[in-house]
Structure 1
Amino acid sequence: MSNFSSQFSRRKFLLTAGASAVGSVLLKGCLGNSPSASDMSADAEAIELSPEQVPETTSIKLGYIPIVEATPLVIAQEKGFFKRYGMTDVEVSKQANWASARDKVTLGSQGGGIDGGQWQMPMPHLISEGIITNGQKVPMYVLAQLNTHGNGIAIADIHQGQGLSMDLSGAAEYIKSFPANEGRKFKAAHTFPNVNQDFWIRYWFAAGGIDPDTDIDLLAVPPAETVQGMRNGSMDAFSTGDPWPFRIIAEDIGFMAGLTSELWPYHPEEYLGIRADWVDKHPKATKALLKAIMEAQQWCDKPENRAEMVQIVSSPNYFNIPVAVLEPPYAGNYKMGDGKAEIEDLNMGPLYWTDPRGNVSYPYKSHDLWFLTETIRWGFHREQISDIDTAKQIIDRVNREDLWREAAREAGFSDIPTSTSRGLETFFDDKTFDPENPEAYLNSLAIKRV
């Protein structure tokens, strides 16, 4: 992380931070009030836009879920980056859950919903195809990756000492025999079916020789209900994002089997996705949003900004959780429990702009392809996504990495990837995903539905 300062000096990142401005933002963050147009943070002064860059509209409504993946949207709002690029009327709206966000994006802001926002993958692709919207196709565009890391797999305390770690192979028989011991199957949960957190926990189980469709019960459950189930002994495992891992350990609910940063280092996490009709009507406004979010991501990754970032996002207006719950993961500090060594590495926690593999924000098509290849692996949505060629066609319709590139060039950012593929990806179990040959990846997997 020591190269952040040099990276920022190379960018047209015209900040004018002052002590009074920082104090003002911290106060507003604690009170939960967003800055007004006349009270924009001095950290992101408005710039003079050329006629070609003036957005067609100044307003959009973006939804978010109060977890660390949403941080760039919150920071772009609170630090004035949206306003900096002429988007003076952005509304960043908290959503109750993923199903609610999905339903609201089908309405659009004109219908009382949202125009886009933060998404687990591949939700934008599934919404575009009408797969999770009761057949109603709402074309969407994937515009940027919001972060990497920030997730893990939590285990209830009753399983301490049974070898439930990232390598699950030694505990496979224990988990498979759970019905004989307890009168029910081992029960695990995630927050929404057929997307990120479902894929993470499925991969983990399958790598350990456990079929998530037959050997256990795997279901979608809201986080609060899952944690309560872990407390009362009716839930065994949870694929979850920060800040839940800290709370699970701190409240003696359970321990962490592992982090997704261990499962797949610098993996794609959640994304910015907006309705295609909004983007097509407002291409300059779309690029203005992207520039603002990119600047917010760069700001987030500067270690010296993390304390202020925690104050802002933890406020009642956003995540509404104690500062102490967010400080450890943002520092890359994770207590794992069950005798595991504590993790103290900033690169193992949430990152927003850059990591050792390159640019975090860029929406690589190769990552979209992994998510849809996993969709095929588990037999999800067979009628609509039957093979790799179909998956690639959907990606070409949904992924707008071209707009990301245009926005980055206009803003003068230098960290622009030269390819739509990040190349070979390697997982903790030494399996590899080559975007040039997804079929080989599928063939290498022992547990699958294809």
Structure 2
Amino acid sequence: MAEFFNSISRRKFLLTAGASAGTVLLAGCLGNPPEDVGGNAAAPTTAQPVANISSEQAPETTAVKLGYVPIVEAAPLIIAKEKGFFAKYGMNDVELSKQASWGSARDNVEIGAAAGGIDGGQWQMPMAHLITEGVITKGNKPIPMYLLAQLITHGNGIAIADKWQGKGVDLKLSSALVSQVKADGKGGSRFKAAHTFPNVNQDFWMRYWLAAGGVDPDNDIDLLPVPSAQTVANMKTGTMDAFSTGDPWPYRIVKDKVGYMAALTADIWKNHPEEYLAIRADWVDKNPKATKAILKGIMEAQQWCDNFDNRQEMANILSQRQYFNIPVDILIDPLMGKYDMGNGRKIDDRTMAPLYWKDEKGSVSYPYKSHDLWFITESVRWGFLPQDYITNNAAKAKALIDKVNREDIWKEAATEAGIPAADIPTNTSRGVEEFFDGVKFDPEKPEEYLRSLKIKKANV
């Protein structure tokens, strides 16, 4: 199974996320960049804070190379760089490297920054766990990773081609549509849905939405990987019916009037975990103080991002050529929680927006181990991982989570940074989670959750 996963993820599933491929080295302090093509506003000049750290907390190195994919999940990394929060804690030489795809990020963290790759960065879940296990690496070689912080809540959506307007493809699928899709799957024109990389969260969002409506994503439709930047063109030509990815791509499909949004992931699972910061374990073990300095910079950036008075400036920064290279107006409304879904539904709710520091359930930045367990349980649900990860009260899954999830380092960094005790969770479980179809996930009973699901590959 691991060899099959490695083969398909390497050869077929690439994400081209945004503008240019390859590595982009980012300057430590922007002056006044010119207005970008496509109406992108110039970002304001940023004053770099002066580092004020004790000798006990001074990082072992001031340099790290972090990869990112240009979607809203990357904002804390970019803002920490641009607003000087990394430098404030002694990390003056943080290099942000734009990744051409999730596959490229995986390959680059395998080789490490010393060999021209990256030390870590932004990841979909549970990529850090799969890389640690050697499930998606070259030759299935384990590359231990540490998951250090959650970057964001929300920020993803399910976009649908305009030809499905009024035909029952909305937040919940109509029974007539489900019957049609199943009939087409037996020989007709099959419904085609896509995600950006297999067996990780954007794949999971599409699978959960379809299965909740009674559609088996493995048997009733074609579920494919497609580069994000290709989705608008595919919907224009009528070759793609649905797509799951991060902002700004779903909203761009609406703005270009080629599709609409059936659901935000905030509809499917309110206050759900999204992407994470993870770094190679060998780098963290060698540089524990530098790791905490990185975390402090990201925490401060997340708090800055969660001040909605900063979101216009945030959109201006993210829109620039070296980052997302898209017009500001594609970014600003979703960042403010304003969504024209393109099907008559309009949302103006900041609790539905991308959130980086706090949401209605509490901490966003803290990496709850119970969330890791949900992603691993879903991996078992769809046959991406063997069932023995979840048997015996998920002993194998929990052992892997304990190895990868370093919430203890997050807590140390938060304490050193003076984060109020009320903002530092005391439990590694966020408790029972509930989804839009009424299904509940109790992290104390993952097998019971699997048994409750009607559509699955796992024989539980």
Alignment-derived partner of residue 178 in structure 2: 172
Range moving further from structure 2, 48-57 or 221-230: 221-230
1:298-313 mapped onto 2 (5 Å cutoff): 298-313=303-318
Q: After TM superposition, give the deviation of residue 131 of structure 1 in Å.
A: 0.3
1:393 aligned to 2:413? no
Native 8 Å contact 1:162 1:174 kept in 2 = no
Native 8 Å contact 1:64 1:70 kept in 2 = yes
Q: After TM superposition, give the deviation of residue 261 of structure 1 in Å.
A: 0.2
Alignment-derived partner of residue 262 in structure 2: 257
Alignment-derived partner of residue 321 in structure 1: 326
How big is each residue's C-alpha offset from its partner over 1:303-352, in whole Å with a ceiling of 9 and x where there is no partner? 1101111111111111111111101100111111223x201111111000
Q: After TM superposition, give the deviation of residue 163 of structure 1 in Å.
A: 1.1
Native 8 Å contact 2:195 2:225 kept in 1 = yes
With over 3 angstroms needed to count, the CA separation of the structure-2 counterparts of 1:316 and 1:384, relative to structure 1, is farther
Native 8 Å contact 2:158 2:245 kept in 1 = yes
| Amino acid corresponding to residue 234 of structure 1 in structure 2 | T
Native 8 Å contact 1:148 1:352 kept in 2 = yes
With over 3 angstroms needed to count, the CA separation of the structure-2 counterparts of 1:219 and 1:386, relative to structure 1, is farther
3-state SS in 2 of match to 1:86:
coil
3-state SS in 1 of match to 2:298:
helix
Alignment-derived partner of residue 36 in structure 1: none
Q: After TM superposition, give the deviation of residue 221 of structure 1 in Å.
A: 1.2
The counterpart of 2:425, out of the listed 402, 407, 417, is 417
Alignment-derived partner of residue 363 in structure 2: 359
| Amino acid corresponding to residue 379 of structure 1 in structure 2 | G
Alignment-derived partner of residue 185 in structure 1: 190
Q: After TM superposition, give the deviation of residue 440 of structure 1 in Å.
A: 1.1
3-state SS in 1 of match to 2:81:
helix
Q: After TM superposition, give the deviation of residue 40 of structure 1 in Å.
A: 9.3
Give the Cα–Cα distance (whole angstroms) in 2 for the partners of residues 179 and 427 of structure 1: 27
Q: After TM superposition, give the deviation of residue 169 of structure 1 in Å.
A: 4.2
How big is each residue's C-alpha offset from its partner over 1:261-309, in whole Å with a ceiling of 9 and x where there is no partner? 0000000000000000000000000000000000000000001101111
1:223 aligned to 2:228? yes
Q: After TM superposition, give the deviation of residue 81 of structure 1 in Å.
A: 0.4
1:435 aligned to 2:440? no
Native 8 Å contact 2:253 2:259 kept in 1 = yes
Native 8 Å contact 2:337 2:349 kept in 1 = yes
3-state SS in 1 of match to 2:121:
strand
Q: After TM superposition, give the deviation of residue 184 of structure 1 in Å.
A: 2.5
Give the Cα–Cα distance (whole angstroms) in 1 for the partners of residues 387 and 447 of structure 2: 19
| Amino acid corresponding to residue 232 of structure 2 in structure 1 | V
3-state SS in 1 of match to 2:32:
helix
Alignment-derived partner of residue 153 in structure 2: 148
Identity among equivalent pairs (%): 62
Native 8 Å contact 1:127 1:140 kept in 2 = yes
Alignment-derived partner of residue 244 in structure 2: 239
Give the Cα–Cα distance (whole angstroms) in 1 for the partners of residues 51 and 371 of structure 2: 33
3-state SS in 2 of match to 1:27:
coil
TM-score by length of 2: 0.88
Give the Cα–Cα distance (whole angstroms) in 2 for the partners of residues 399 and 30 of structure 1: 41
Q: After TM superposition, give the deviation of residue 390 of structure 1 in Å.
A: 1.4
Give the Cα–Cα distance (whole angstroms) in 2 for the partners of residues 233 and 306 of structure 1: 34
Range moving further from structure 2, 219-228 or 55-64: 219-228
The counterpart of 2:452, out of the listed 429, 440, 444, is 444
Give the Cα–Cα distance (whole angstroms) in 2 for the partners of residues 237 and 150 of structure 1: 17
1:347 aligned to 2:351? yes
How big is each residue's C-alpha offset from its partner over 1:358-396, in whole Å with a ceiling of 9 and x where there is no partner? 010000000000000000111113288464221111101
| Amino acid corresponding to residue 351 of structure 1 in structure 2 | L
TM-score by length of 1: 0.90
Q: After TM superposition, give the deviation of residue 177 of structure 1 in Å.
A: 2.8
With over 3 angstroms needed to count, the CA separation of the structure-2 counterparts of 1:40 and 1:315, relative to structure 1, is closer
The counterpart of 1:376, out of the listed 373, 380, 401, is 380
Native 8 Å contact 1:29 1:315 kept in 2 = no
Give the Cα–Cα distance (whole angstroms) in 1 for the partners of residues 387 and 349 of structure 2: 43
| Amino acid corresponding to residue 198 of structure 2 in structure 1 | P
Native 8 Å contact 2:380 2:387 kept in 1 = no
3-state SS in 2 of match to 1:268:
coil
The counterpart of 2:96, out of the listed 92, 97, 108, is 92
Alignment-derived partner of residue 128 in structure 2: 124
Q: After TM superposition, give the deviation of residue 172 of structure 1 in Å.
A: 1.2
| Amino acid corresponding to residue 398 of structure 1 in structure 2 | V
Alignment-derived partner of residue 116 in structure 2: 112
Give the Cα–Cα distance (whole angstroms) in 1 for the partners of residues 234 and 409 of structure 2: 43
Q: After TM superposition, give the deviation of residue 226 of structure 1 in Å.
A: 2.9
Native 8 Å contact 2:129 2:145 kept in 1 = yes
Structure 2: 5+ residue stretches without partners: 1-28, 38-43
Alignment-derived partner of residue 268 in structure 1: 273
Range moving further from structure 2, 160-169 or 275-284: 160-169
| Amino acid corresponding to residue 88 of structure 2 in structure 1 | R
Give the Cα–Cα distance (whole angstroms) in 2 for the partners of residues 365 and 179 of structure 1: 38
Native 8 Å contact 2:31 2:45 kept in 1 = no
Give the Cα–Cα distance (whole angstroms) in 2 for the partners of residues 287 and 29 of structure 1: 34
Native 8 Å contact 2:185 2:220 kept in 1 = no
Give the Cα–Cα distance (whole angstroms) in 2 for the partners of residues 298 and 29 of structure 1: 28
Give the Cα–Cα distance (whole angstroms) in 1 for the partners of residues 242 and 66 of structure 2: 31
Q: After TM superposition, give the deviation of residue 46 of structure 1 in Å.
A: 2.2
Alignment-derived partner of residue 137 in structure 1: 142
Give the Cα–Cα distance (whole angstroms) in 1 for the partners of residues 181 and 253 of structure 2: 21
Cα RMSD of the aligned pairs, angstroms, is: 1.9
| Amino acid corresponding to residue 421 of structure 1 in structure 2 | S
| Amino acid corresponding to residue 399 of structure 2 in structure 1 | Q
Structure 1: 5+ residue stretches without partners: 1-23, 33-38
With over 3 angstroms needed to count, the CA separation of the structure-2 counterparts of 1:386 and 1:355, relative to structure 1, is closer
Alignment-derived partner of residue 20 in structure 1: none
Alignment-derived partner of residue 21 in structure 1: none
Q: How many residues align?
A: 418
